[in-house]
Structure formats: structure tokens, C-alpha cells
A and B are shown apart, each in its own frame.
Chain A
């Protein structure tokens, strides 16, 4: 129970600190907070600036603004985008669905593909096939995902013409969406898999030196059996936490991949918001991503507790 409570406190703290940071940024930055909160390109006259200032409560003391900020968040009110002429929360939720369509399969496939391959690579470290694979994954690991997307889109869509050049769909049928998603999901999966691969490989190399692995060998088990029955279970436990911690990273990567593939999700929303200086959208996106990252970590903790008896009995 103690560990669970300590974790819960940390999650609440994380949310609290990040949200407070989000409150502070537009007010601490140089320039008029009205501009910082509305976006710079919104053309407003002198009198409407004053009017907006009163309307947004920016002339009130900071602590009242802060309380109002939290009350707005609990009402899911993330402000109004004057560029998109819509409420930020509404825009975000529609775009986020598409981005999750890219991120969730990526994370699952990345874990499913990267983990066993990494385990095998760690097990047969000296094998030349594994060495080539490690090198290719290392190459992917070190390449920014958007650059990999550019290469893929150039090769497979532009030169060979197997896949569409842009977007999430043209007709909107499920098959069409899958067809559009295939290439970006492949790039992102390679990227996620390379991270899991590297970690799993190292994890297996470490576990191999443990006594139980030697005992399994002495007992007469074959190589693959030792790996998948004994070592894999222990070595893959850290992966769960790492996948969760990686969630934010993968999500950020997806934003860039989306931009390259001109997909109309959060990545392009953020990109347009940067170009238009649409600060409410930027801040709202940041909050939403934070909440998702924290939720992913929470999920990982629960999963970890279910899989690892030591944690289960303690917490």
C-alpha cells in the first residue's frame, strides 16, 4: 500500500507542477499576457485589448487567476483559439483521435517486434546475422523519425508509388485508412522497436550472467528454452516501464511523422499553431500530451503490479 500511495502522490505532483508551469509560461514571458494567451497574430484594437483583459480576468490578482485556471481545466475549458474560431478542447479531441490511431498501434507493434528480436540478439551476441540486425536497429535508433519518414515517403510513395503521399484517408473506409496509415505506422514502429530492441538486448545480456541461467543450462535445457522460459520473463519486466516512459517520446515522434505525411492530427495542429503563433492551441496540446503520458505511466504501474508478484504483494 505504501508504494502505491507514494506513486500516486508523484503522479499528482507531476500533473500539478506541469499544469502550473503552463499557467506561468504565458504570464512570465516577455510581452503582453493578453497577446501571449490569445496568439500574436490576432489583430485587435486598443480598446478590445482592454476588453479582453477584463474578460479573461488578467487584471485580477495572480492567485485568483490561478484558481480560475484550475476551475477552467476541471470544466475541460482550455481556452478559445481565435485562429481556428473554435474551442481548443474541441479541436484537440478531434485531432487527438487520429494521432492515437498512429501512436497506439506503433507502441504495441514496437514492443511486440522489438522485444523478442532484442532478446534473441542478446542471446546470440556473436552471431553475424544478429550483428547486422543490431547495426540496422542502431541506425534507426540514431535517425530522427521525421528524416526516416522523408526517406520512406520518397522511396515507397514517390518513387515506387505503392502508398499514398499524404493524409489519413481519401474515402474514409476502414481499408482506405489502413492503407494510408501503413507507411507512417511502419516508420514509427521501426523507431519504437529500435528502442525496445536495444534495451532488451542489454537486459538479456545482463540476465544471462545470473546464476539461474547457468542452473537452467546445467539442468540440461536447450538454449531457446532457457531464453524464453526463464530469461525473457525477467528481462522483459523493465520493458513495461520503459514503454510507458517512452510514450511521450513516441508521441512526440509521431507529431513529426504526421507533419511529413501531411496527416491531419495533432502534429500538424501544433505545426500550424507554431506558424500562426496560436498559443492557446499550443498550450492545450501540451496539457493533453502530459495527461496522456501520466496515464500511460499509471497503466504501466498497474500492469507491472499484475505481472511481477513481488510488486503485487508489496503494493
Chain B
């Protein structure tokens, strides 16, 4: 079971090598869009124009029920997705790498305890738990990202652990140990740099999961109301008739954005 989940990421990673370059390019595009959203967006996403107008020269993707320019909303929404994605992934990587390294390096009882905890965390239905926490706290999207990261370190810990188990047997670690370096030093300066290649794909996958989760929460109306995110746009288009009236320019772009920004991960 452990091996299965450990190798899962690597398997998916290999799944789409032909697409990976395109995915990476798209991802970079979205990051640039998020960073410079204030400069790129043609209008203020909260500014109001004629509502329900179809795509035109002034409003390339039309306007929504409030008369907000949808393209500007889309560009500013990328910021929320990127922040939640990276926030969750950084948090997950911090916890996962430390636990994985310690479990893999020390083995024995430390390993038992940490991997037991990982198994337990893996069983928590995360989306329902996040829904409950969000319903109680109405968190800002920063907090949301941290909560997700705190729940999603498990698979990261597993891949790092199995890699650490391999590396600790290698000769250079052996020699470092015989030279008398401390465990702490060996873990962080000898083993840590070598788990990078299993952490990175996992990191990207966590970004994708967090983005989809954020979009889902916003779809339920649990997102940060002070920010416009893609999920919220779909939610409004769905609940305020954009979908039944066939205003494709309202609900299609945010959905496709979510898909294209996450397609880099697998």
C-alpha cells in the first residue's frame, strides 16, 4: 500500500510527458498574469458597466449580472488561485519533507509513529473537513491555503520517506556518518538536497489540488467574499442564471482557466 502511493506521483508524472512543456508554459503564463494582474486587467473588476452584455470590443468576454467586466475578473481571479495553490503546497512541503526525512532517516519507532500519523491523516475526508472549518470560520484565502497545506502533507511525507530510506544507505551518507557529522547535519545537508526530485512533482500536484479545492469551496459560497476567484465566478454564473441563459462567456472561461492552470501538474 505504501509503495503504491509513493510511486503514484511518479507514475502520473510520467503519464503526460508530451504535454508537460505546454502545461509548464501555461502555468508560467498564469503566474505572470497573477503577478501583473493590476496592470494587465483592462478594467477594475469591481467597476460596473452594462450588465449581461455579450463579448464585444470594449468587453472582450462580456459582462456579468453586476456589469463587471469578466475578463478583468478572470485576470484578478488568477491571483487568488495562485496564492491558495502555492500557500497550500509550501505548507504541505514543509510538513511533509520534515516528517518524511525524519521517518526515513531514523527508521524504527520514529518511522512507526510518523507513518502511523500519515495513515491516519490520509483517511480524513479533507474536502468535507475544509467545508466545515470554512463554514465556521469564514476564513480569508490565506488561512484557507494553510488549512489545506496542513491536511495535504501526507503523500509528500510518504514519497520523501521512501527516498530518504534509499539515500541513507548510500556511500556518501555512510562516509558522512563515519566522519562524525551529526544526524541533523546529515539529514539537512546530505539527504535533503537529494529528495528534491520527488518533492517537486508532488509540490505541483498539491498546487493543482488546492486550486481545484478553492474553486470548489467558492462554488459552495464559502470563499473569501472580498476576493473574486474563478470558483466564485462559476458559482455566480450558475446561481444567477448565466448558465440557463446560455451566457457561455460567463461560466466557460473561469472553468477552462482552472483546467488549464492545473493541467501542468500531472
Contacts and interface: CB of A to CB of B under 8 A. Distances in A.
A150 to B, nearest CB: 6
Interface residues of B, number: 55
Given A138-B266, A150-B243, A14 B137 contact: no
A304 interface: yes
B126 A238 contact: no
Interface in A186-232: 198-199, 201-203, 205-206
Q: Which of B4, B11, B231 has the most CB of A within 10 A?
A: B11
Interface of A, secondary structure class, is helix
Interface of B: 1, 3-5, 7-8, 10-16, 18-19, 116, 119-120, 122-129, 131-133, 135-137, 208, 212, 215-216, 219-222, 231, 234, 238, 243-244, 246, 251, 255, 258-260, 262-263, 265-266
A90 interface: no
The 9 closest A-B pairs by CB, nearest first: A202-B11, A238-B4, A252-B127, A248-B125, A147-B255, A142-B262, A14-B123, A14-B120, A29-B136
A238 B234 CA distance: 35
Given A138-B19, A277-B135, A198 B11 contact: yes
Contact of B124 (A14, A198, A273, A304): A14
Contacts of A134: 15-16
A138 B258 contact: no
B159 to A, nearest CB: 14
Contacts of A256: 216, 219-220
A82 interface: no
A139 B23 CA distance: 11
Given A142-B259, A158-B244, A10 B120 contact: yes
A142 B265 contact: yes
B125 A10 contact: no
B252 to A, nearest CB: 8
Nearest to A273: B135
Nearest to B136: A29
